Amino acid sequence: MIVSRRAWLTGFGATLATPVLAQDSWPTRSIRLLVGYPAGGANDLVMRGIAAPLGDALGQPVLVENRAGAAGGIAAEAAARAAPDGYTLFSISSAHVLAPSVRRTLNWDPVRDFAPIALGARSPYFLMVHKDFPAQNVAEFVAYVKSRPTGSISYASSGVGAGPHLTTSLFMHVTGIALDHIPYRGDADALIDLTTGRVPCAFLSVAPALPHIAAGSIRVLAVSGTERLSILPDVPTVAESGYPGFAMDAWWGICGPAGLPAPIVQRVAAAMRPILDAPAFAERYAAIGVVPGKLGTEAFTQLIRDDRTRFDRIVRDAGIAPQD
């Protein structure tokens, strides 16, 4: 989605009129960017692609610091407790916004405790089936499932309450089908059983599935996001396949602790815009199914609030019990 510069900066009129005071000299030292997941994952790769040019634009290094653990919660808690001085930024993700819906106890809140700056990137999920599954598209998939006894067809997910679980729950709701959930401890484990046919279908992340798609052990029926991916341009979205408005993907953005001064928010957002607009950024991540986010502060703030409400509704409708 292309967002105009005017839309990107919407909401900053008041910011530009605000006395800058001490923020005038910011930054005078390096900035840390907390990432809640291990090095090498999509979240980490995207943030490293943003961090280096962002540091160049700001005149100080932006250093990625991986604090993996608690499904991203360790980094989130550290960021929420950091001083709102611009020297600690945080890679907030859709998983963090989902967390209050599926976790009983959190020491941070994705809406209350952070100051959104800008969306960095998105990546949808693939609706995939084993190569021998008797459906070539979403319509045939839905018809086949409806023709079988309720719950007799299982699906894999990367875990209870994870994005793929939520995506499948939404898909079942809009299509009126029922699938039996088999949760795994991650995409890799789920893909093992999908490729061997132990489970016939799944919504899973794009990047880890690509080698299996290339090998022909699984087929992709649809993309869960709002647009097709350049790596598989012939694969339609779920919305194009007869379910308008369906959209679910993973996303990653940058925020600061709540109370981050508006001039710093504005400066970081303005510096991110040309990074995400550059063709090189899109080309670098297209091969793993990641597309630039391109939402400025106001729109990103609204995305977080909307997803918070939407995720609660999906979890409630699906009867997903919060975990410890």
Return the SS3 of 130: strand
Give whole-number Cα distances, 56 to 51, 62, 206, in Å: 9, 8, 30
Cα end-to-end distance, the chain, whole Å: 37
Residues 6+ apart with CB under 8 A from 177: 142, 145, 146, 171
Is the pLDDT assigned to residue 5 strictly greater than 90? no
Residue 132 is encoded by which pair of tokens?
Answer: 């021998």
Other CB atoms within a 10 A radius of the CB of residue 149 amount to: 7
- 3-state secondary structure at position 255: strand
Model pLDDT, residue 71: 86
Compute the distance between CA of residue 268 and CA of residue 272 in angstroms, rounded to an integer.
6
Domains in the chain, ordered, with CATH?
Answer: 5-123+249-318 (3.40.190.150), 125-223 (3.40.190.10)
Percent with pLDDT over 70 in the chain: 93
Is the pLDDT reported for residue 157 higher than 80?
yes
Note the pLDDT tens digit of each residue in 163-188. 999 999 999 999 999 999 999 988 99
* Whether residue 244 has pLDDT greater than 90: yes
* Helix, strand or coil, per DSSP, at residue 210: helix
* Residue 48 backbone phi and psi in degrees, to 5: -70, -30
Q: Are residues 182 and 211 in contact, defined by beta-carbon separation less than 8 angstroms?
A: no
Give tens-digit pLDDT for 91-137: 999 999 999 999 989 999 999 999 999 999 999 999 999 999 999 99
Query: Is 218's pLDDT higher than 60?
Result: yes
Q: Using 50, 70 and 90 to split pLDDT, how confident is the model at 2?
A: very low
Exposure of 158 by Cβ count < 10 A (0-12 exposed, 13-18 middle, 19+ buried)?
buried
Residues 209 and 231 sit within 8 Å (Cβ to Cβ): no
What does the buried/exposed string (b/e) look like for 258-297 if buried means 16 or more CB atoms within 10 Å of the residue's CB? eebbbbbbbbbbbbbbebbeeeebbeebeebbbbbbbbbb
Amino acid symbol at 240: E
Alpha-helical (H) ranges within the chain are 5-8, 13-17, 42-58, 73-81, 94-102, 138-147, 163-175, 187-196, 206-215, 262-277, 279-286, 297-318
Q: Is the pLDDT of residue 152 over 60?
A: yes
Q: For residue range 66-103, list pLDDT tens digits in order.
A: 999 988 999 999 999 999 999 999 999 999 999 999 99
Closest CA to 200 of 257, 139, 156: 156
The model carries a pTM of 0.88
